[in-house]
């Protein structure tokens, strides 16, 4: 016997309630978005809200020293390794209410559904959320889950600073989320994450669900370009060292690299941050901070693309008489997800009559970190408006969210009955 | 008989005192700069400080409805048209203490020198400073002097808003500088402005003074680029409308235009503002605001360059699937200065044994507006460190400032004895 249907209305209301914490109104569009950058006061509010909901559901809450939060529901065989459901509740500065939150509140909804059905699974269940998944504040994404899996040492994570010079450690302390628990996580039995696609593919194909096969490789660089600030009217062009022009040449180069086809058809390259100083109409920018984001599921192509872009930094620096230094702020290889968990997801979707297909994730997720510890897969739900995300317009409908979390519920129950330690 | 020497120490101390209002410490370099963006609280402080100094010097102060300030010293023939000395005290956000201030405080020093010598000139003398010369806050440079000469209507100037949506009118009111006087200025007899060069030419040539022949033509565009914000990891390159890439292509184009030589050897082109939204590492910029600054003394070349850049906006918009709209925020033709006043400056410099040459101004100045009303010219003093300006390192030495204001004093006295209405 299994619990067949989660409560979609309750789930959607929970998403709405969490979305009010850190809410802001976009000046240009009038749309209401979410700004819950990691470890800000708004993130603290969101965290306390979710912890309260976990406790109200009768769960035992543990907080570790990097601020990851775990809520545990006992199993019939309570010494067996738990099945973990998770995601994150931090956001980019201009977010919607679904990215990450669907996986966390969806997990809570699964546990509530089991409670109402009077079901206790063999294995304990854990719903978790991880610190700074976005990397939008401290520059390193999947920070909390990387510490949980031992890829990043706690002390190194604590020492990372945001643009204003504030450290992860001090900001965790300020919002009251440095817990007592050892952040290195004992291996769960399995990890499942339900997430919005954040892209146009499922919606364009008219599909109700995506079975995620893995996460493409990601490489981030933070660049500091140092030129010479000068008056735009009086400084001869030959004497300039314009950090903005150097940034522009790198941005155009990224497009050319993609268009060349030399890195396969799947390379994606983006310059999202471009900040010239002083940023005034009549001053040649003397300095610029810039980000580069490279992604592809082809590890060899990503390696070549990174090497080539680093070589190009040096060439452009020489050409524009500037200095360019880069710091690698993220680098993850292609991460394939577990075939058996993928099959469970596909089977559950089919049993519910939901149309679905295999899909690779373009974005990084905590699941790719957890896949180092245990068998792991993800469920994608489609997004409206071309799947726009990291934007106030981000939207998955109640039915889309309900489908994803129903399948999550099925898969978690199946995994939690599996035998073994 | 004429007053021979101004008090350089007193002038330099006055520059230092005004430089403390709006002072800030640059985080990276530790240098102390000035941020007195027009009509901010710091600008208000600076204005009150200079007005107090004018009154302390026994001058009659008039403030007009765009916030221009004039201090008048009577002449022997007090109905004759005055000789005006002027400049501005507003600054860019990352300024030094010389740009503009030297002309205003140098003017006051000239009047003090005449007082000490017991001299009254035939014509009255006026020292003025004009509102928002920089254009760094409200986007239109020489705003106050353009209203004074009737080029911009008062109501239009009042309605201009800064990036935060605050209007010139409301900000003038807030700092208490909407005066009673009609801003349209009766023609003076002559206008002379002493200013730092803001470029490397005089210093590199080892010269003590520049006789400014005119101001090159200037064209500013404020661009709004509208693309589509999207997730950097999940959005296929072909579906992107990246406002940052469009900005980069325009920036590279500006360089190519200069390098082509098609617009003469003197075209200067700069993109100083590049602000992509949301400006996050993993989000394709959906919007960007950008500035374009074109300058050359060749009016025909400037006209062609502007037409070509506007055509390029459309081509790049089509190529990158974005919309680009531009607003012309400044457009001034080449302004030649008066030959007779230039000769007076050159003669005074020679009489004092100061090395000098004719030089064209790369930057815009209030003098180019005043030249519509009366005979006008400018005196440039060299700047250290390649003449860097709009930067905390901006520096003219005491001797450089003293030389410029001594010549200003000679020229003003000569002009003030000229016959006629």
CATH number, domain containing residue A154: 3.40.630.10
Residues of B in contact with A281 (CB under 8 A): 135-136, 139, 220, 222, 272-273, 291, 293, 329
Q: Are residues A340 and A266 in the same domain?
A: no
pLDDT tens digits for range B240-280 = 999 999 999 999 999 999 999 999 999 999 999 999 998 98
Of the candidates A332, A350, A372, which is a domain's last residue?
A: A332
Query: Cα(B246)–Cα(B219) distance, rounded to whole angstroms?
Result: 20
Selecting from B197, B231, B361 the residue whose C-beta is nearest the C-beta of A199 gives: B231
> What integer is the mean pLDDT of B142-166?
96
Domain membership of residue B340 (yes or no) is yes
> Are B130 and B64 within one domain?
yes
Give yes or no for residue A166 having a pLDDT over 80. Answer: yes
A-chain residue closest to B37, CA distance: A280
pLDDT at A408: 98
Chain A CB contacts of B282 below 8 Å: 92, 134-136, 141, 270, 272, 293, 363, 390
Examine the domain organization and report whether A344 and A373 are in the same domain: yes
User: Would you place residue A35 in the very low, low, confident or very high pLDDT band (cuts 50, 70, 90)?
Assistant: very high
How much is the ipTM here?
0.74
- Residues with Cβ within 8 Å of residue A35, at least 6 apart in sequence: A22, A23, A24, A42, A91, A93, A94, A95
What span, in angstroms and rounded, lies between the C-alpha atoms of B217 and B171?
29
Residue corresponding to tokens 């210093």: B203
**Predicted local confidence at residue B246, as pLDDT:** 98
Picking from A92, A134, A281, the nearest residue to B135 by CB comes out as A281
Mean pLDDT of A43-55: 98
Contact A101, A15 (CB under 8 A): yes
Question: By CA distance, what is A94's nearest residue in B?
Answer: B278
Regarding whether A323 and A200 lie in a shared domain, the answer is no
Q: Is a pLDDT exceeding 80 seen at residue B3?
A: no
- Regarding whether B59 and B14 lie in a shared domain, the answer is yes
Q: Are residues B199 and B284 in the same domain?
A: no
Interval B304-334: pLDDT, tens: 999 999 999 999 999 999 999 999 988 889 9
What is the rounded average pLDDT for all residues in chain A? 96
The reported pLDDT for the residue numbered A209 is: 98
Closest by Cβ to B280, choosing from A92, A231, A233: A92
Model-level pTM? Answer: 0.75
- Read off the CATH number of the domain in which B323 is found: 3.30.70.360
Q: How far is CA B363 from CA A29, B194, B370, B389, B400, in A?
A: 37, 13, 15, 11, 19
Residues B166 and B27 both lie in one domain:
yes
Q: How far is CA B54 from CA B126, B178, B367, B402, in A?
A: 11, 18, 21, 20
A314-341 burial: b if 16+ Cβ within 10 Å, else e: eebbeebebebebeebbebebbbbbeeb
Give yes or no for residue A192 having a pLDDT over 60. Answer: yes
> How far is it, in rounded angstroms, from Cα A359 to Cα A379?
10
Name the domain boundary from B316, B332, B348. Answer: B332
Question: Is position A2 within any domain?
Answer: no
Do residue B177 and residue B28 come from a single domain? yes
3-state secondary structure string across chain B: CCCCCCCHHHHHHHHHHHHCCCEEECCCCCCEEECCCCCCHHHHHHHHHHHHHHHHCCCEEEEECCCCEEEEECCCCCCCCCEEEEECCCCCCCECCCCCHHHHHHHHHHHHHHHHCCCCCCCCEEEEECCCCCCCCCCCCCHHHHHHCCCCCHHHHHHCECCCCCEHHHHHHHCCCCCCECCCCCCCCEEEEEEECCCCHHHHHCCCEEEEEEECEEEEEEEEEECECEECCCCCHHHCECHHHHHHHHHHHHHHHHHHCCCCCCCEEECCCEEEECCCCCEECCEEEEEEEEEECCHHHHHHHHHHHHHHHHHHHHHHCCEEEEEEEEEECCEECCHHHHHHHHHHHHHCCCCEEEEEECCCCHHHHHCCCCEEEEEEECCHHHHCCCCCCCCCCHHHHHHHHHHHHHHHHHHHCCCCC
- Dmax over CA atoms of chain B, in Å, equals 80
Q: Is residue A124, in this structure, part of any structural domain at all?
A: yes
Q: Is A296 near chain B, with CB under 8 Å? A: no
Token pair 């990372």 is found at A160
Domain shared by A320 and A269, yes or no:
yes
Tell me the residue range of the domain where B154 lies: 8-216+335-416
Res. A412 pLDDT band, cuts 50 70 90 = very high
- Confidence at A85, pLDDT banded by 50, 70, 90: very high
Of B200, B236, B270, the CB nearest to A232: B270
Contact A282 B233 (CB under 8 A): no
Span A226-261, pLDDT tens digits = 999 888 988 888 889 999 999 999 999 999 999 999
Closest CA to B382 of B367, B361, B409, B404: B404
Is residue A187 in a domain?
A: yes
Within 10 angstroms of residue A164's Cβ, the number of other Cβ atoms is: 6
Mean pLDDT throughout B64-75?
Answer: 98
Q: What's the pLDDT at A239?
A: 85
Judge: A280–B92 Cβ closer than 8 Å, yes or no.
yes
CB A270 to CB B389 under 8 A? no
**B144-159 burial code (b ≥16 CB/10 A, e <16):** bbbbbbeebebeebbe
pLDDT at B390: 85
B276 to chain A, closest Cα gap in Å:
7
B190-196 and B83-87 beta bridge pairing: parallel
Contacts of B268 in chain A (CB under 8 A): 232-233, 235-237
Asked if residue B398 and residue B310 are part of one domain, the reply reads no
Which pLDDT band, with edges at 50, 70 and 90, does A330 fall under?
confident
Q: Is residue B320 part of a domain?
A: yes
In this prediction, residues B85-114 reach a mean pLDDT of 97
A277 interaction partners in chain B (CB closer than 8 Å): 94
Q: What is the mean pLDDT of residues A35-61?
A: 98
Nearest CB neighbour to B234, from listed A222, A251, A387: A387
Number of independent structural domains in chain A: 2
Is A421 a member of any domain?
no
Query: Inter-chain contact B280–A390, Cβ cutoff 8 Å?
Result: yes
The pLDDT of residue A4: 81
Q: CB distance B247–A249 less than 8 Å?
A: no
Asked if residue A388 and residue A279 are part of one domain, the reply reads: no
Helix crossing, A8-19 with A101-117: angle to 10°?
Answer: 140
Question: Facing residues of A376 across strands?
Answer: A191
A207 and A225 fall within a common domain:
no
The DSSP code for A133 is S
* Chain A: residue whose CA lies nearest to B390: A231
| B residues 204-223 closer than 8 Å to A (CB) | 216, 218, 220, 222
Q: Which of A336-345, B1-10, B279-288, B306-315 has the weakest average pLDDT?
A: B1-10
Residue B169 lies in a domain: yes
Kindly state the average pLDDT of the residues B45-58. Answer: 98
Asked if the C-beta of B237 comes within 8 angstroms of chain A's C-beta atoms, the answer is yes
Q: Inspect the interface and report whether the beta carbons of B94 and A391 lie closer than 8 Å.
A: no
- Among the candidates A279, A314, A332, a domain finishes at A332
User: What does the mean pLDDT of chain B come to?
Assistant: 96
Tell whether B363 is covered by a domain: yes
pLDDT computed for residue B53 by the predictor = 98
């Amino acid at each position: 016997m299994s619990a067949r249907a989660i409560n979609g209305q309750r789930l959607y209301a929970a998403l709405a309630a969490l979305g009010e914490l850190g809410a802001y109104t976009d000046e240009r569009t009038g749309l209401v978005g979410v700004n819950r950058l990691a470890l800000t006061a708004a993130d603290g509010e969101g965290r306390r809200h979710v912890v309260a909901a976990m406790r109200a559901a009768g769960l035992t809450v543990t907080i570790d020293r990097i601020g990851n939060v775990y809520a545990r529901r006992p199993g019939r065989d309570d010494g067996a390794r738990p099945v973990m459901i998770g995601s994150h509740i931090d956001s980019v500065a201009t977010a919607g209410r679904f990215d990450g939150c669907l996986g966390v509140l969806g997990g809570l909804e699964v546990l509530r559904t089991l409670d109402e059905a009077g079901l206790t699974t063999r294995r304990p269940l854990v719903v978790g959320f991880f610190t700074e998944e976005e990397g939008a504040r401290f520059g390193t994404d999947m920070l909390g889950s990387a510490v949980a899996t031992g890829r990043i040492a706690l002390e190194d994570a604590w020492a990372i600073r945001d643009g204003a010079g504030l450290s992860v450690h001090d900001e965790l302390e300020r919002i009251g989320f440095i817990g007592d628990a050892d952040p290195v996580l004992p291996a769960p039995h399995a990890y499942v994450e339900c997430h919005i696609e954040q892209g146009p593919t499922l919606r364009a194909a008219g599909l109700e669900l995506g079975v995620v096969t893995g996460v493409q490789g990601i490489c981030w660089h933070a660049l500091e370009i140092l030129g010479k600030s000068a008056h735009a009217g009086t400084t001869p062009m030959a004497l300039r060292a314009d950090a903005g022009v150097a940034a522009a040449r790198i941005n155009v180069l990224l497009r050319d690299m993609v268009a060349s086809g030399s890195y396969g058809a799947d390379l994606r390259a983006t310059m999202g941050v471009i900040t010239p100083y002083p940023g005034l109409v009549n001053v040649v920018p003397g300095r610029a901070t810039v980000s580069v984001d490279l992604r592809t599921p082809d590890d060899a192509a990503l390696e070549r693309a990174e090497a080539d872009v680093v070589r190009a930094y040096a060439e452009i620096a020489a050409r524009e008489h500037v200095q360019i230094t880069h710091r690698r702020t993220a680098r993850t290889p292609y991460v394939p997800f577990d075939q058996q968990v993928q099959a469970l997801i596909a089977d559950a979707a089919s049993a519910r009559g939901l149309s679905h297909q295999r899909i690779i994730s373009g974005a990084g997720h905590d699941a790719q970190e957890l896949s180092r510890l245990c068998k792991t897969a993800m469920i994608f739900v489609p997004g409206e408006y071309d799947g726009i995300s990291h934007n106030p317009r981000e939207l998955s409908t109640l039915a889309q969210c309900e489908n994803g979390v129903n399948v999550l519920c099925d898969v978690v129950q199946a995994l939690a009955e599996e035998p073994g330690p």
